[in-house]
Structure 1
């Protein structure tokens, strides 16, 4: 991540819960949810009844 950006952020349920240099976020996160994500413990449940956004194509002439 540090090759791509000087700062990164972790968003949980639409809320920015932590931001900072990649080495700080991955090596010593301040938020428990960020730590769970880094450790691979944070999982999201998918609502099977929720529909996906509809994709539409746009022609080059538009």
Structure 2
């Protein structure tokens, strides 16, 4: 039986921002793996802040 050696570390498929293509830092890659999996630079990740329920309601 032939066994392959496997790394415990997850495979990192992306090393650049999905939006602008800039190379990601290790911290940005780690944040993507720990969150929703979107590989974004710090600038674009800060733009992805979810809105509060109050902000979603239209003024009325």
Shared fold (TM-score, shorter chain, > 0.5)? no
Q: TM-score, normalised by structure 1?
A: 0.22
Q: TM-score, normalised by structure 2?
A: 0.23
Higher strand residue share = 1
